[in-house]
Chains A and B, each alone.
Chain A
Amino acid sequence: MEITMIYYLIPALIMFCCGLYGFITRRNMIAMLISLELMLNAVDINFVVFNRYLYPGNMEGMFFTLFAIAIAAAETALAIAIIINVFRKIKNVDVEDLTKLKD
């Protein structure tokens, strides 16, 4: 059986939908962050797959993926730092309770 593009795209889509579902439904900020990472990785897979199958000679997709991973790491660190500070402040990481800026 030849492994075509669709074999990669379907799991990536499932991953993305899982991430989206988690991001919308979860109230815990850390869970939301994990869901966010899931969506990012789904997109990374897409990049790699499209590059590999459609433009085999080029490397742009790979590079984009590498960049996205690096930036995602930095972003995660930042988000964790914010979440820790929020936790220290309100002893809670529920996104519904974060209404201070609105008031």
Chain B
Amino acid sequence: MEPLFPILILAIPLFMFLFLGLLGKYMSHKWAGILGTAGMGVTLILAYCTAFTYFFSGSPEFIDGTQRLQYVAFNVDWLQLYDQLVIRIGFLLDPISAMMLVVITTISFMVHLYSNGYMRDHHGVWEKGFQRFYAFLSLFSFSMLGLVVATNIFQMYIFWELVGASSYLLIGFYYTKPSAVSASKKAFIVTRFADLGFLIGILILSYYTGTFNFTDLTSVGVEGMTDVFKVDLSTAESIKDLKFTASAAPMFMGASVLTWALVLIFMGGMGKSAMMPLHIWLPDAMEGPTPVSALIHAATMVVAGVFLVARLFPLYLMEPTSLTIVTVVGAITAFYAAMVACVQVDIKRVLAFSTISQIAFMMVSLGVASPDFHEGLGYMASMFHLFTHAMFKALLFLGAGALIHAIGSNDYTDMHGLRKYMPVTHITFLIGCLAIAGIIPFSGFFSKDEILSSCLGNSTITYLWMSMVAGLTAFYMFRLYYLIFWWKEHKVHEGHHAPHDQPWTMTLPLVILAAVSCVAGFIPFGDFVTWNGEAYDFMAHFDWNVATVSLCIAVLGIGLATIMYRKENPWPQRMRQLLPGLWRWCYHRFYFDELYMFITHKIIFGCVSRPIAWFDRHIIDGTMDGMAYVTNKAAYAIRGLQSGKVQLYVWVYLIGALLLGVITAVCLI
């Protein structure tokens, strides 16, 4: 394949960023929007062509018999530190990166299109900084595309930080709003803190393996691994034997360095993917414009952590401990976020916690994936869920954006009974809810069902736990749905004009994404994305029992939500009084923010920062100040000597010379 398309896929968004960023203020809002959207549209077409070529051309570069190969479109030296250590920038095509190309460009294009309508008010007045907004969206698209096609872990790290930076810029888009500013800072600091672990993990991994390349790191072939672990593997036959060699690597605090490296790398993923306890930034990130939440904080950037684990999956497979950690973190987060989502008032917050919960589903799915069970079903399920979730969650967020745009508030209490006014938004939002709840023909059902199947393959407890979370998902999504579109009607609307559906730029993405959410479940995903590239027919492994159970649970959740929230009734209040403690804890997100505030302000600031600051001010600065003080005083003391009178200087010189002469004479005699 020619490297032209891959280069253009990265170059166009970067160019659009520079173009709109530098020249945007000289062009009209309308043209900036059209140009940004058109640029993304071209990228979308190129990415589709690339993915299509990769999956369907059958060329021997991409597929060897039934096994899909990793294909490097280009790989240029970017930073040559010395002969052995070269950092490259390249373009790696393999099943997951091709799939991510499709997901990112699709969602990004939809969001570009949607923002044309969203970023102006009802009278058609454009938001301040509209061009800047498009420039940042392009920057984000560039960074995210660079992240998923990274050929080496260092390139991934670079783009990883770039998506973090563009996320920071976009959350803080309304920089005059203090809450947006603090949310952007929070997001940046929390993810940066997690990236510290990621960086250390990268350094450990590359130190012990001597390579940054994903292809070398993850090649399951014996010859690749020999290099990687510097252990003689002439006897190793399969991945089972490799487990042994991995544990033969040096140990540190009771775990092998590989485990440490993988856990630290996973910490980076936890930060980006908002896993507990590093999830606190994501709900606050909803301060950004809603299209940004749809693109970055629902569909693409937050799944970077899942993508990272998937990318290094063969390594994780060698260390069962690290996979267990992934599973446990994912399972706890999924439950926690689902609980919190049940009581939030702000619709974007509900969706944010739902995102956390769904990403945790993907993490769990990766954690329980094993080649021994259904040939790595979990890996495929995770990627499948990533795909479907990106579509329906972007749909839900864009729908929420349409509602917020129409009402001017984030609270469902201002919305109630909107179904008559906004029929398109209503139907598409309902489809999104059905998809996330896992009702049969919609995409979420298939991906979630596979995740639950692979959980069952791991252990019954995981399966039951995740099924319960799936039920909660259905419950909180339909609670949200009923509270927005049903319940009693508000009378506030009468003064203003009634809320109505939005312009076509906003409804078209909703309709397209809803259509995708309806049919995406029927994509034979196993043919495209599997952990080892072998095509795999998941219908053959389809477990009807699991499917029936999960469907029943989803219906149960929806039914409960219908009883409690379809009409105004005392049940929610009664439930709240029944479990006041639980309600309060959920409402306050289990006091995680307060816990962080306590740790940072009281413990870190109080016990560490303040003493250090005192030492700095008084001891270090004091020494310097003291030196300056002494110099100053001495200068004042001898200031009078510099009289500026030439003749006095001559006298002094003369006397000095004579004295020296006398001394010399005395010494000589």
Contact = CB atoms under 8 A, between A and B. Distances in A.
Interface stretch (B139-147, B467-475, B642-650): B642-650
Contacts of B607: none
A24 B644 contact: no
A99 B654 CA distance: 23
Contacts of B650: 20, 23-24
A102 B647 contact: no
B544 interface: no
Interface string A17-47: 0001001110000001000000000000000
Given A20-B654, A24-B651, A95 B646 contact: yes
Contacts of A101: 644
Contacts of B651: 24
B654 A102 contact: no
A24 B651 CA distance: 7
B283 to A, nearest CB: 66
Contacts of B646: 32, 95
Interface in A79-103: 95-96, 99, 101-102
Contacts of B654: 20, 24
A46 B78 CA distance: 72
A92 to B, nearest CB: 15
A32 B647 CA distance: 10
Nearest to A99: B644
Contacts of B645: 95-96
A33 to B, nearest CB: 12
Contacts of A99: 644
Contacts of A102: 643-644
A35 to B, nearest CB: 10
Contacts of B647: 23-25, 95
Contacts of A24: 647, 650-651, 654
Nearest to B654: A20
Nearest to A25: B647
Interface in B595-646: 643-646
A96 B645 CA distance: 7
A96 B646 CA distance: 9
B643 to A, nearest CB: 8
A18 to B, nearest CB: 14
A38 to B, nearest CB: 14
A95 B643 CA distance: 13
Contacts of B644: 99, 101-102
A24 B654 CA distance: 10
Nearest to A100: B644
B596 to A, nearest CB: 61
A81 B374 CA distance: 101
A42 B647 CA distance: 20
Nearest to B648: A24
A53 B382 CA distance: 106
A101 B644 CA distance: 8
Interface string B53-78: 00000000000000000000000000
A101 to B, nearest CB: 7
Contacts of A23: 647, 650
Contacts of A20: 650, 654
Contacts of A32: 646
A101 B643 CA distance: 11
B645 to A, nearest CB: 7
Contacts of A25: 647
A20 B653 CA distance: 12
Interface in A35-82: none
B452 to A, nearest CB: 89
A101 B646 CA distance: 13
Contacts of B643: 102
A15 B548 CA distance: 123
B644 to A, nearest CB: 4
A23 B654 CA distance: 12
A24 B653 CA distance: 11
Nearest to A102: B644
A24 B47 CA distance: 90
B659 to A, nearest CB: 16
B315 to A, nearest CB: 74
A99 B645 CA distance: 8
B434 to A, nearest CB: 87
A24 to B, nearest CB: 5
Nearest to A20: B654
A37 to B, nearest CB: 15
A24 B646 CA distance: 9
A79 to B, nearest CB: 12
Contacts of A96: 645
B655 to A, nearest CB: 11
A103 to B, nearest CB: 9
B351 to A, nearest CB: 73
B373 to A, nearest CB: 91
A41 B556 CA distance: 117
A99 B644 CA distance: 7
A54 B647 CA distance: 35
A25 B654 CA distance: 13
A102 B643 CA distance: 8
A57 B267 CA distance: 89
A48 B397 CA distance: 100
A20 B645 CA distance: 16
Nearest to B647: A24
B341 to A, nearest CB: 76
Nearest to B651: A24
A16 to B, nearest CB: 12
A95 B645 CA distance: 8
11 contacts: A20-B650, A20-B654, A23-B647, A23-B650, A24-B647, A24-B650, A24-B651, A32-B646, A99-B644, A102-B643, A102-B644
Interface of B: 643-647, 650-651, 654
5 cross-chain pairs, A with B, having the tightest CB-CB distances, nearest first: A102-B644, A24-B647, A24-B650, A95-B646, A23-B650
Given A95-B647, A101-B644, 13 more contacts: A20-B650, A20-B654, A24-B647, A24-B650, A24-B651, A24-B654, A25-B647, A32-B646, A95-B646, A96-B645, A99-B644, A102-B643, A102-B644
